[in-house]
Amino acid sequence: MVAGCGSSGGGSNPDAAPLDLGGAQEAGGPPTPYCTSKPALAGMPDLSGTWVMRLTGSQAVSAPIVGIVHTKTEFYILATLAQNGTDWVANGRYCDRVEKDPSTNIVRVIIPAPWAHTEKPVTRSGGKLALASDGTWVLTFPPLVETAGAVLASDSDPLPTAADDLRVIDEDGDGHPGITVSLSGQSLSGDLYSVQKQMTSITAIAVAQDRVEGALAYSSLQNVLSSNPPGLATYYPQNQPPASDPVLCNSGFAMVRIAGAGSVDGGAIDAATLDAGGSPDGGSISCEWVRANEAVLF
């Protein structure tokens, strides 16, 4: 989540691509490009069904006053995967957005419940399941650009820079333009009303029948439209380059299939251990259920 980071804005480079997945691995870290230490499942996996996805987006950005900070946001998506010809398509909606910044950060970024729980639809198309040269079946989804707090005519359009721009919407329904993200710290504190654009792509492998893990290429842009207190917005320049993390596997992707009993890390989930009514009834599952079971699933 870029909010709270002054060097991330929108418009100057709206077509910037996510990080290159071909980079060298982090010293002592998992092998690239899959960003998991678990071995791949033998054979071609069956991806059909209902899944909970967790996208972890990490950034290293320059924030006003405090300098370089690291931010990490977890996005939880409830989606159904189905094959369409040679492609895989994921249709679903966002259920939760959780900020997991390092405890060493001087300023905390907080995603208030109205935006954290906004159930925004999302479709990822063009997914490919292909056999790599090492014999591993690899799932890839091409880059997806998503905008929050504004409606753009195309992905390449620059983000608004003013609250009275007709493209700005109150997407979280809290009475303020754009989306609201809060800051808590001695040097910076208050609410930011912003518009954002994030770019993601996925490269992953099945590590169990009901679990997929891999790399997430993640970068984002932000423009702060206004703030409370008003002076807080003046620290945030507009139209800055995309923010991302140069360390490949600091961002990541995982998804878990949901059924009467699922599988996490190769072990069965007893439906009785899940909160909010246990396992989904007849395959029906709500975002409330996902939020209650995030820790169990992942």
pLDDT digits (tens, 9 = 90+) for 172-186: 999 999 999 999 988
> How many structural domains does the chain have?
1
User: Would residue 37 count as lying in a domain?
Assistant: no
* Strands annotated E in 85-178: 87-99, 108-110, 121-131, 137-148
Closest-CA residue to 212 (of 292, 101, 136, 109): 136
99 falls within a domain: yes
d(CA 153, CA 145) in angstroms, rounded, equals 13
Average pLDDT (75-102) is: 95
- CA dist., res. 250 & res. 95, Å (int): 22
Q: Is residue 212 part of a domain?
A: yes
Nearest to 47 by CA among 94, 87, 95, 96: 87
Whether 53 is covered by a domain: the verdict is yes
Q: What is the domain extent for residue 186?
A: 49-297
φ and ψ of 97, to 5 deg: -135, 120
d(CA 155, CA 175): 25
Question: According to the model, what pLDDT value does residue 248 have?
Answer: 85
Does some domain include residue 39? no
Please, which residues have CB within 8 angstroms of residue 298's CB and are 6 or more apart in sequence? Answer: 54, 254, 256, 264
Structure tokens at 224: 């702060």
Return the H-helix or E-strand segment holding 115.
Answer: helix 113-116
pLDDT digits (tens, 9 = 90+) for 212-268: 999 999 999 999 999 999 999 988 888 887 788 888 899 999 999 997 533 333 343
In a domain, 273, yes or no: yes
pLDDT at 92: 96
Instruction: Count other C-beta atoms under 10 Å from residue 128's C-beta.
Output: 12
Has residue 243 been placed in a domain? yes
Give the contacts of 11 (CB within 8 A, at least 6 positions apart): 158, 159, 161, 221, 223, 238, 239
Considering only CA atoms, which of 296, 251, 253, 190 is closest in space to residue 1? 251
**Which position has the higher pLDDT, 20 or 205?**
205
What would the two tokens of residue 134 be? 């090492």
Length of the chain, in residues: 298
- Closest by Cα among 282, 265, 259, 266 to 274: 259
Radius of gyration (C-alpha) of the chain in whole angstroms: 19
User: Looking at the domain assignment, is residue 6 inside a domain?
Assistant: no
pLDDT of residue 84: 92
d(CA 199, CA 15) in angstroms, rounded, equals 9
pLDDT digits (tens, 9 = 90+) for 94-130: 999 999 988 888 888 999 999 999 999 999 999 999 9
